[in-house]
Amino acid sequence: MNLVDPAQRPSRKAPLVWAIGAAIPWFVLVVGQLVWFAVDHRTWWPHAVAAAVTVLGVALFVVVVPLWRYRVHRWDVSPEAVFTRSGWLVQERRIAPISRVQTVDTERGPLDRLFGLANVTVTTASSAGAVRIVALDSEVADRVVAQLTDIAAIGAEDAT
Amino acid sequence: MTIDTGIEGQEWHRLSPRMLLVHPVHEVVRQIPVLIGSVVLGSATGNPMVAIGVLALTVGFGVARWFTTSFRIGPGELQLRTGVLARKVLSMPRNRIRSVSTDARLLHRLLGLTVLRVSTGQEARGDAVFALDAVQAEQVPRLRAVLLADSLAPAQDQEATPGRVLARWQPSWLRYSPLSFTGLAMIVAAVGLVYQVGAGAALQDSSIAQSGVDAAERFGVAASVVTAVIIVLLASVVLSVARSLLTYGNLVLRRDSEVLHLEHGLLRVREHTFDMRRLRGGTLREPLLVRLFGGARLDAVMTGVGGAGEASILLPPCPKATAEAVLTELIQRPDIVTGPVLGHGSAATRRRWTRALALPAIAAVVLLVVSVPVWAWVAWGALTACCALLAFDRARSLGHRVGGGWLVAQAGSVHRRRDCIAAPGIIGWTVRQTLFQRRAGVATLIAATAAGVKQYQVIDVPAALAWSIAAQASPWVAESQWADAPQSRA
């Protein structure tokens, strides 16, 4: 048997937010390189190498990776379990039963707040079993949290 | 619980008065550098009162520790007040207590004292450790019964039924220890310590070093190096065996209905109590050097007990049959403990070989580029042979077994382990695939539990099998709405 991949996608804004998040450190690096270029005129080839590496890095981490992650990321919540797929080079599919859920956390970073996104983390008694649903629209995240806490409250097991 | 022990209630109790002897000694030992400094200072200034004053202060501090430490076993909470200058109160809800272990060093044993550690299963370090240091040894069974009363209701009558001994330490178990690296590590640490305190420089000028150099000149460098290596190896073997003997000598593993007692140590006696209802399986570990002699060690997989290190050890290196028999006794499933595992197929085997042979391949390229003497190629041949053996052994070890409510994952060569996990304890599944794993059509299946090391991996299973293993172990996976099982739906 196999598990069908979960159906729900993250927010449409997710690739944009991931791209901006990745672009910020690269932008700092580019500024640093421009300063270095303005100050140091001795040889040209270290600048060329650094610029090439930066262009490749930006293309990979700001353009390719966010789109790749958006293609991979999926999530779903059923009355019995939470199921996610995530990653890009290393891909993970993770399932946890709701009867064993201990806490449901919502987390919004500065960029997430700007674009109205939220991340939901569902933790279980195992430190290796936390399920993270990233980059949801805020209202979707609120709905998921309400749904999860509702179901989890029914179970009264020890959760270990 | 209604055990009348006279120790529960609202009043605060002091630790054993005999600690008035132990604390000052420990304090003096701890402050040895300061004391040496004060003696030096005293003799330099010609005023011996400095050293005596510091000594009196240290002893006084040790005595004050007894007066400032007290504990209370309230109806819902266990509390410990400590600290001479900075006061601290540690509180622990009694229904969170998962295990009680005891530990008695030499001085404690001479005075009939025992350190009692209470654990909630959370990692506690340094000051957060809840330790009663120390109570009288004859109080321990009573305290343990009181402390574990909430989690272990039938523990009162354990004195009446002494329980069954599952394993008892044999002197022959020492044969697995000579080849461990603990002795070598101790020698290195000792040498490091000698140099750190500056004795190294003094040693270099001394007559011992001088006579050593003379001897080396007389016998030749090669002979001296060989002799030194042999001496270090012998010392390492002796130290390893001695440490193993002192740590695990007199080990007794006993089961009293729902409680597992482990006691070990010759000079320093340690005792662990495990709640059998929290047992979620066991791990048989066979480090290469132990496996060569047909040995194995056994760790408990238990919720509320850390999975790695001393906390979870059930048996040190011992004959494999003993470890297997004990685990079988604990989980009542001989097929899970010793049954054959299902291999992971050719893709997984290929990955073992590519990984192991990557290093020799790179080395070969390097050797071809730079010209090297012939012996380098001989060394390369030996390295390749070792890597090939490693790959062969790793591929042979790899396997899993699932069914009847248990999951078995076996892997590794140098650190071979067989994890036997009870499926009801598994509270989440992850299927992880790297880019290379996707291309090879395999996946790593990870079972998350609240017990032991928290995650147990089944490495490089065929990708098509990963979820069916999870579904076989956990019915909730098979019953989930994403399950796609044409054969069962039909």
Partner-chain contact B468 A4, CB within 8 Å: no
B429 vs B257 pLDDT, higher one: B429
pLDDT tens-digit series, residues B441-475: 999 999 999 888 889 999 999 999 999 999 999 99
Q: Which of A29, A53, A70 is the last residue of a domain?
A: A70
Chain A positions touching chain B (beta carbons under 8 Å): 1-6, 76, 78, 80-81, 83, 89-97, 100, 124-129, 131, 159-160
User: The tokens 């790695």 sit on which residue?
Assistant: B308
Q: Are residues A110 and A90 in the same domain?
A: yes
| Cβ atoms B399, B341 nearer than 8 A | yes
Q: Which of A33, A49, A70 is the last residue of a domain?
A: A70
CA distance B61 to chain A (A): 41
Q: What is the mean pLDDT of residues B88-98?
A: 80
Closest listed residue to residue B311, CA positions, set B327, B300, B320, B323: B300
Q: Are residues A63 and A82 in the same domain?
A: no
Contacts A76 to B, Cβ<8 Å = 482
Rounded CA gap, B315 and B326, in Å?
9
Rg (CA), chain A: 20
Q: Are residues A94 and A140 in the same domain?
A: yes
Report the amino acid identity of residue B204: Q
Count up the domains in chain A and report the number: 2
Partner-chain contact B427 A96, CB within 8 Å: yes
Q: Report yes or no on A5 lying in a domain.
A: no
Contacts B464 to A, Cβ<8 Å = 2
Q: Report yes or no on A7 lying in a domain.
A: no
B137 vs A143 pLDDT, higher one: A143
Rounded CA gap, A91 and B433, in Å?
5
Q: Report yes or no on A95 lying in a domain.
A: yes
How many Cβ pairs within 8 Å bridge chains A and B? 113
CA distance B24 to chain A (A): 42
Q: Report yes or no on A9 lying in a domain.
A: no
Per-domain residue ranges of chain B: 13-160, 176-248, 254-337, 345-489
Contacts B478 to A, Cβ<8 Å = 1
Closest residue of A to B468, CA-based?
A: A1
Least confident of B242-246, B269-273, B307-311, B480-484: B307-311
pLDDT tens-digit series, residues A31-65: 999 999 999 888 889 999 999 999 999 999 999 99
CATH number (domain holding residue A91): 2.30.29
Q: What is the mean pLDDT of residues B55-72?
A: 88
Query: Which of B120, B419, B427, B439 to substitute to test the interface with A, most A CBs within 10 Å?
Result: B427
The whole-chain average pLDDT of chain A stands at 90
What's the pLDDT score for residue B92?
81
Q: Are residues A55 and A103 in the same domain?
A: no
What's the pLDDT score for residue A40?
85
In this prediction the pTM is: 0.81
Q: Are residues A79 and A142 in the same domain?
A: yes
| Cβ atoms A106, A120 nearer than 8 A | yes
Q: Are residues A96 and A126 in the same domain?
A: yes
Angle CA B111–B117–B120, to nearest 5: 170
Tokens for B401, please give them: 């077994």
CA distance B417 to chain A (A): 19
Rounded CA gap, B25 and A102, in Å?
47
CA A115 to chain centre: 14
What's the pLDDT score for residue B298?
94
Q: Are residues A149 and A80 in the same domain?
A: yes
- CB-CB: which of A1, A76, A126 is closest to B478? A1
Does ipTM surpass 0.85 in this model?
Answer: yes
Which residues span the domain enclosing A137?
A: 75-154
Q: Are residues A59 and A101 in the same domain?
A: no
Q: Are residues A66 and A47 in the same domain?
A: yes
Q: Are residues A41 and A111 in the same domain?
A: no
Cβ density class B202-228: b for 16+ within 10 Å, e for less = eeeeeeeeeeeeeeeeeeeeeebeeee
What's the pLDDT score for residue B85?
81
CA distance A53 to chain B (A): 23
Query: B195 to each of B198, B200, B202, B229, how far by Cα in Å?
Result: 5, 5, 10, 20
pLDDT tens-digit series, residues A72-129: 999 999 988 999 999 999 999 999 998 888 888 899 999 999 999 999 999 888 888 8
CA distance A1 to chain B (A): 5
Please tell me the number of Cα atoms within 13 Å of A148 on its side-chain side. 29
Q: Report yes or no on A115 lying in a domain.
A: yes
